[in-house]
Structure 1
Amino acid sequence: MSSSSMRLWNECRTGTLGGTLCSIWVSFDMGDMLHTALMAAVGTLVSVAVSRLLALKGKDRDDDPP
């Protein structure tokens, strides 16, 4: 392939990728994205809290004689 045909191929591929990304970006609703981010943050906090509580409970059990 010559340099000019390679450049044309890269420009075509870049244009196609850019158009695809723009069409996907428009389909997302910002409210839905915010809701998803908020739910992910809440899920992370709950997971950490439960893990720490279970670790403390396990530590208390190890200290008690059978």
Structure 2
Amino acid sequence: MQSSNPALIGTAGGTFLSVLPNLHSEDVSKTVLLAAIGAIVSFGLSMVLKFIVKKYRK
């Protein structure tokens, strides 16, 4: 099944342009900060769990 690229691009562009005026710089910076904290916590927890599993499998 082939999708209609102009319709898809138009829909994505319209969504982006309708959201753009509602974005504020503090919202974007808060989102970036929370995403970075989430990634660091997720990575750290996965490393701790990997260490625990490796320790108990021996």
TM bin, normalised by shorter chain, reads: 0.5 to 0.7
Question: What is the CA deviation profile of residues 8-32 of structure 1, one whole-angstrom value per residue up to 9, with x for unaligned ones?
Answer: xxxxxx8xx67x71x5312111101
How far apart, in 2, do the equivalents of 1:47 and 1:27 lie? 30
**Gap runs ≥5 in structure 1:** 1-13
Q: How many correspondences in the alignment?
A: 46
Structure 1 position 45 matched with structure 2 position 13: no
Q: Which residue of 1 aligns with 2:28?
A: 33
* DSSP-derived class of the 2:56 partner: helix
Tell me how large the CA RMSD over aligned residues is. 2.1
Which stretches of structure 1, 4 residues or longer, exceed 2 Å deviation after superposition? none
Could you state the TM-score of these two structures normalised by the residue count of structure 1?
0.59
Aligned-residue identity in percent: 30
Higher Rg of the two aligned structures? 1
Q: Which residue of 2 aligns with 1:57?
A: 52
How far apart, in 1, do the equivalents of 2:51 and 2:19 lie? 45
